[in-house]
Chain A
């Protein structure tokens, strides 16, 4: 059914349909509308789950570990400082191979304090072993939750997943969203079948000590599972397309790339703006296109290399910065295209809610054509010293 809804509420509705048994979260702007809606559903018995109001994000994800290890389908949501506080727990979730799904409503990190959007929060956890999917609009944000649970709980994968969507720009924006029925979701996402769980009759231990003789193999296994996840995400995305008409089989998605000379690379809601800008630039005869990265972890390097094989130059729009180096996505795109001779320029944009307009996209294309890149774009020189 097509509904005109706020992004947060659309996501909360999708989460409800995924039938989580335990939800644990701590409020933080701009995630609050999601968890408030879920608390309401639990209180009104439209969602049969435990909602745990913990005292911090650290406790929230820790409670999720306990509930997941006990054999439940588990959900949480956070952003920014909350995700930063979960850093330690995030590595534990992946290490224990618990298929927890968490929504990240992307927001900048302190200091200085900012409640506005960029993607520094989830990008900073790229090394934690979680899958990371980025949504361009609210339809995709809801759909990716079904997909995330399905892949995370696959016994060949058993890894947690973050579904990331841009704070305020998407979370607080009303868009038409096609909501699914419980029967539809049940047909796509089978009931949770834990691979292993805490069971007094057959005791196991999670998170034990690993000596140097074993530790590396544990890390290798996570990395291998992430590699396998590429194919599983593609398969689950294709299946989703078959059942509901929206195909998510591609980890990266091209727009006007066929004859493009300059290709942008972006993630999240920015892709919508870039597509509009491309339409305008195309009308003026400029051969530009976009490669949208939907799945950032596992990183689809070969897919990116293939999709960009025909372009002359690439302009990566990074809503994050690995301070002291470059944008995280830019670095990995450079790696993916290493040896191809294609020039890759990185632009740090939109940090802390700085708006990026269509005219900015055109200006960045012009910079790339001149060979100028690997820089912050849109700095206000007058406030720098």
Chain B
């Protein structure tokens, strides 16, 4: 089998806009799943609502496409009823950190054995580019026409604090690292969160001086700072540029987990 066999080819092309980063993340995820040599009939994909959450519709396994924000609650039910199944969730920053924020922290706290892939594009993409809890301060959206003034969630740090066993962040530019991080997530018992920063040229880029798709990917490349480097700079008291974001593995640990097959 190859990663291609995991696609529902008859459902392609996707609904995604030209240049959207979600397709890249799905590709990375299916490469990682394929490398696990899992069987399709033992793997379930779960999602909420959003562009990112459309992913399971393109994958040739059983899936639950649920309501906005609730994917983790549904997935918890699947996993506890059938611990023998592999449960993978696709979600977005809005789905996971806004309307689904409560389910998110509690799934981390319970450390339920599942892998969550969050495509964070800093915006509600599907509904037309409104500000989300990860929209950077000052960024333009259809509900913040002069720039968002609210503080943001760091989704990965939130998962670490709430108790997840494995947390990593990469971007749609870092396909190799992202694929590896997803595979680590799939291998790790307990709750695993992989945050993938992705370009949304339609809802975010064109409003925020990243007009071309390549501008956004360039941004993801040049503004990513390795967590190890960041921590070293902080320890040495060196000034860290304000506009960077950290990438790498935030945590890998072995807290007691729920739903791990015996």
Contact = CB atoms under 8 A, between A and B. Distances in A.
A198 interface: no
B140 to A, nearest CB: 10
A173 interface: no
Contacts of A56: 69, 98-99
Interface residues of A, number: 19
Interface in A180-213: none
A57 B143 CA distance: 15
Interface string A104-135: 00000010010000000000000000000000
A29 B125 CA distance: 12
A55 B127 contact: no
Contacts of B131: 53
Contact of B130 (A36, A43, A57, A81): A36
A36 B127 CA distance: 11
A53 B130 contact: yes
Interface string A25-39: 011110010011001
B84 interface: no
Contacts of A26: 99
A262 to B, nearest CB: 41
Contact of A55 (B99, B128, B144, B146): B99
A55 B67 CA distance: 15
A382 to B, nearest CB: 20
Q: Is the interface on chain B under 10, 10 to 19, 20 to 34, or 35 or more residues?
A: 20 to 34
B163 interface: no
Contacts of A40: 145
A55 B133 contact: yes
A32 B98 CA distance: 17
Interface in B187-211: none
A298 to B, nearest CB: 31
A51 B148 CA distance: 12
Contact of B143 (A28, A35, A55, A113): A35
Contacts of A27: 124, 127-128, 130, 143
A113 B145 CA distance: 30
Contacts of A53: 130-131, 143-144, 150
Contacts of B144: 39, 43, 53
Contacts of B69: 56
A43 B49 CA distance: 28
A384 to B, nearest CB: 22
Contacts of B133: 55
B110 interface: no
A43 B142 contact: no
Interface string B52-83: 00000000000001011100000000000000
Contacts of B99: 26, 55-57
B145 A110 contact: no
A113 B127 contact: no
A29 B127 contact: yes
Interface in B115-142: 124, 126-128, 130-131, 133, 142
A87 B68 CA distance: 15
B62 to A, nearest CB: 15
Contacts of A51: 143
A28 B98 CA distance: 13
A51 B143 CA distance: 9
A113 B127 CA distance: 14
Interface string B101-119: 1000000000000000000
Contact of B65 (A32, A39, A81, A113): A113
A57 to B, nearest CB: 8
A43 B146 contact: yes
A89 to B, nearest CB: 14
A294 to B, nearest CB: 30
A32 B123 CA distance: 14
Contacts of A44: 145
A32 B68 contact: no
Given A53-B131, A53-B150, A110-B67, A36 B98 contact: no
Interface in B15-62: 49
Interface in A220-275: none
Most buried by B among A36, A55, A57: A55
Contacts of A29: 126-128
Contacts of B65: 113
Nearest to B145: A43
Nearest to B128: A32
Interface string A70-87: 000000000001000000
A110 B53 CA distance: 15
A57 B69 CA distance: 11
Contacts of A55: 98-99, 101, 133
29 contacts: A27-B127, A27-B128, A29-B126, A29-B127, A29-B128, A32-B127, A32-B128, A32-B130, A32-B142, A35-B143, A36-B128, A36-B130, A40-B145, A43-B145, A43-B146, A51-B143, A53-B143, A53-B144, A53-B150, A55-B98, A55-B99, A55-B101, A56-B69, A56-B99, A81-B49, A81-B67, A81-B68, A110-B67, A113-B65
Interface of B: 49, 65, 67-69, 98-99, 101, 124, 126-128, 130-131, 133, 142-146, 150
Interface of A: 26-29, 32, 35-36, 39-40, 43-44, 51, 53, 55-57, 81, 110, 113
Given A43-B146, A53-B150, A55-B101, 7 more contacts: A29-B127, A29-B128, A32-B130, A35-B143, A36-B143, A40-B145, A81-B68
